[in-house]
Amino acid sequence: MIASMRFGSNLNALANCYGYAGLSSQTLMYKHTLWPLIAPFIPEERKQRCESWLQGQRDIGVTVASGVSASRLQYPKHLRYCPLCVLEQIDEFGEAYWQRLHQIPGINVCSKHECSLNIYTSDNLQRHQHEFFALSATACSTIKPAAIQAFHRDLNDYVITLLNLEVVKNPSYEQWSAYYQSLSAQNGLNRGQQVKHKEIESLVTNQFAPDWLKSLGLAVNCEETNWTRSIFRKHRKSFSFLEHYIINQSLMPCSWDVEGTLNEVARYNKVRSVKPQQLAGAPPKSMYQKYRQDWRRIVKVKGAKQARSANGATYAWLYRHDKAWLLSINSDYRAMNTPIKQKVNWCLRDKVYAKRITKIIDAADIDIQSPQRTKTWLLTHFSNKPSLEKWLPKLPITNKLLQKYAETTYEYQIRRITRSLLYGDPKKVRQLWFLMRKSGLSKERLTPIARQFIQLLLERSIVQGPSTSIEENHNNADKN
């Protein structure tokens, strides 16, 4: 068996070895390989064929049939890891493992620990295809901090959503073609039948750094064959998860909801081609072409119903002479323009957000300097904060975590007092008046519980004042 950083093979045989743990080849494929990044974007029949190969013995066939070998997207050549994740894994499980999240093209940083991923350089995957490379703590000597931006978090959320996506029936090439036609039209990026490719290119390069795109083999240029153009033409092969992400993220006003889009695309009617009726005495072919062209342009933008009221004459002519074609195209655009109620997996979404909140709280817990961890502060870590706030009633776990872990005023006051004691000038900070000032607290603003905390500090002589009673100290301060 050849080790593979992407999908592996012989998964049935491997699953049999884990029979006692109840691991199926399907679970191995979707929970432990990068297959979930590829699977949703290839036609259904091909996906099923590839999956049966992965369960069997044909890794190479999958690379070709899934389009990965012909894809312009560059996969990392070496294994990668986050040194801090490795230390955590050793702490938790006694040994480290290769995280699939860190082997994904485009992911160059660990968003959890805010550091760059290290490359495992001592391996030579080409020469030692059968060898197992264990990850150990010795690999964790270098930690390179990285500034995490909203872009990193969005991409991270996107790939995590894909890795956890429920298996759905995949759209066909025709459905993807129709989706992208509609996407450009909805965004006002069409001029008649033409797509405004240059505008799309500048939207993409405004959103994503050209160097990052180039490093992935997805550079944007003005050539007719560039991928940002071909994705808006008739699809003849699959586009990678990152190509779909880059275009949709550039054109959408907020974070792209891949799950909703996949459901939407799968509902598009397949584009049918209907030949004009060639009846004796019928108008010349050029008339059909002209009216069809006009109607296509209008119906794409306005949808069937509105196009009919706005362009009654064209509608009437086509209805009289070219009814089958008219009804066919209208049914396509009726389906496309009726707002589709997207089926959102709230349960999964809730789990993803809850996990993220837990990570934010974990990171904040060890940072005594952080600002008050209110619910609003916790939510500022999400790029889609306004929508998330709106969805909270549908996200019970996330909502509960936010309520439970949001820092109250008294907790924050006690943290500020502790912070001053730990980091303030040791000669001054043990004086009550100085401690209060250093912590930004006043007698009036002190909550009853924080007051009790200071009283305890006075009684144990950790802090000194003229009296060991906080009340008397404050009364004296008032008199002076």
Provide the binding-site residues for Zn ion, judged by CB under 5 A. Answer: 82, 84-85, 110, 112-113
The answer to whether 326 and 372 are in contact (CB under 8 A) is: no
Q: What is d(CA 419, CA 434) in angstroms, rounded to the nearest whole number?
A: 13
382: which residues sit within 8 A by CB, 6+ positions away? Answer: 153, 353, 356, 388
- Give, in degrees to the nearest 5, the angle at Cα 461 between 458 and 466: 60
Closest distance to Zn ion from the beta carbon of 92 (Å):
13
Question: Which residues neighbour 297 within 8 Å (Cβ) at sequence distance 6 or greater?
Answer: 192, 193
- Which lies closer to Zn ion via its Cβ, residue 14 or residue 143? 143
Residue among 107 and 262 whose Cβ is closer to Zn ion = 107
Decide: 49 and 93 in contact? Cβ < 8 Å: no
**Nearest distance, CB of residue 404 and Zn ion, angstroms:** 25
**Which residue, 80 or 112, is less far from Zn ion as judged by CB?**
112
Nearest approach in angstroms of CB 352 to Zn ion is 17
Q: Which is nearer to Zn ion, 112 or 152 (CB)?
A: 112
Between CA 199 and CA 184 the distance in angstroms is 10
Matching residue, tokens 């093979």: 9
d(CA 218, CA 301): 30
Shortest spacing between CB 4 and Zn ion, in angstroms: 23
Task: Give least dist CB 86 to Zn ion, A.
Answer: 8
CB of 111 to Zn ion, least distance (A): 8
Structure tokens at 396: 């019970």
In a 10 Å sphere around its CB, with 0-12 CB exposed, 13-18 middle and 19+ buried, how is residue 406 labelled? middle
Of 149 and 475, nearer to Zn ion (C-beta) is 149
Comparison of 357 and 429: residue with beta carbon closer to Zn ion:
357
CB nearer to Zn ion: pick between 50 and 96:
96
CB closer to Zn ion out of 84 and 352: 84
Which CB, 73 or 115, lies closer to Zn ion? 115
Min dist CB 101 to Zn ion, Å, is 9
Task: Tally Cβ neighbours within 10 Å of residue 457.
Answer: 20
- Quote the least distance from Cβ 246 to Zn ion, whole Å: 24
Q: How far is the CB of 104 from Zn ion (least distance, A)?
A: 14
Taking a C-beta distance cutoff of 8 angstroms, is the pair 454, 417 a contact?
Answer: yes
CB 241 within 8 A of CB 41: yes
Show the tokens assigned to 66: 């899934």
Q: Which CB, 9 or 118, lies closer to Zn ion?
A: 118
CB of 84 to Zn ion, least distance (A): 5
Q: Is the dihedral of CA 100, 103, 105, 106 positive or negative?
A: positive
